[in-house]
Amino acid sequence: MRGLIIKDLMSFRQRLVMVMVVTVFVIVLAVMFSISAASGNLRKMTVPGPDTTEQEAQVARDVYSYTFMMLMLLPMCAVGDTVRNLLHEDRQSGFTAVASVTPLTIRQRIMSKIICFCGLYLAGAVLSILICSAVSLFTDMVAFGQLFSIVIIGLSVCLIYTFLQFDLGIILNGSEVYSETFSLLIILLAVLGMNTKNIIALIKAGDDFPNVIFEQARSVSALITDRSYLFIITACIIGVISYFVTVAVATKKREVI
Partner 1 sequence: MESVKNAIEIKNVTKDYGDFKLDNISFDVPEGSVCGFIGQNGAGKTTTIKLLLDVRAKDSGEIYVLGRDMSKESAAVREDTGVVFDEMGFNEYLTAKDINIIMRNIYKNWDEKVFFDYLKRFALPVKKKCGDFSRGMRMKLQIAVALSHNAKLLVMDEPTSGLDPIVRHEILEIFREFVVEEDHTILLSTHITSDLEQIADEIVFINAGKIVLKGNKDVLLEKHGIMRCKKDERGKISDSLIVSEENSSFGIQLLVNDRQTCEKLYPKCVVEPATIEQIMLGYVSSPKRG
Residues within the interface to partner 1 (CB under 8 A): 2-4, 6-7, 10-11, 14, 89-90, 93-95, 97-98, 100-105, 252, 254-255
Neighbours of 198 (CB within 10 A): 16
**Torsion of the alpha carbons at 208, 212, 214 and 220, rounded to the nearest 10:** -170
First to last CA, the chain: 13
Q: Which of 20/241 has CB closer to partner 1?
A: 20
Distance, in Å, from the CA atom of 257 to the CA atom of 91, rounded to the nearest integer, reads: 8
237: Cβ contacts below 8 Å, ≥ 6 apart? none
Q: How far is the CB of 199 from partner 1 (least distance, A)?
A: 45
Q: Which of 58/96 has CB closer to partner 1?
A: 96
Q: Which of 61/88 has CB closer to partner 1?
A: 88
110 within 8 A of 151, measured Cβ to Cβ: no
Q: Which of 66/95 has CB closer to partner 1?
A: 95
Distance, in Å, from the CA atom of 10 to the CA atom of 4, rounded to the nearest integer, reads: 10
Q: Which of 197/252 has CB closer to partner 1?
A: 252
Q: How far is the CB of 102 from partner 1 (least distance, A)?
A: 5
Q: Which of 72/250 has CB closer to partner 1?
A: 250
Distance, in Å, from the CA atom of 47 to the CA atom of 34, rounded to the nearest integer, reads: 15
73 within 8 A of 106, measured Cβ to Cβ: no
Distance of CA 47 to the CA centre of its chain: 31
Q: How far is the CB of 5 from partner 1 (least distance, A)?
A: 8
Q: How far is the CB of 14 from partner 1 (least distance, A)?
A: 5
172 within 8 A of 179, measured Cβ to Cβ: yes
Q: Can you list the alpha helix ranges (DSSP code H) found in 15-143?
A: 16-39, 41-46, 54-84, 86-93, 95-100, 106-136
Q: How far is the CB of 245 from partner 1 (least distance, A)?
A: 18
Q: Which of 96/221 has CB closer to partner 1?
A: 96
Q: How far is the CB of 96 from partner 1 (least distance, A)?
A: 8
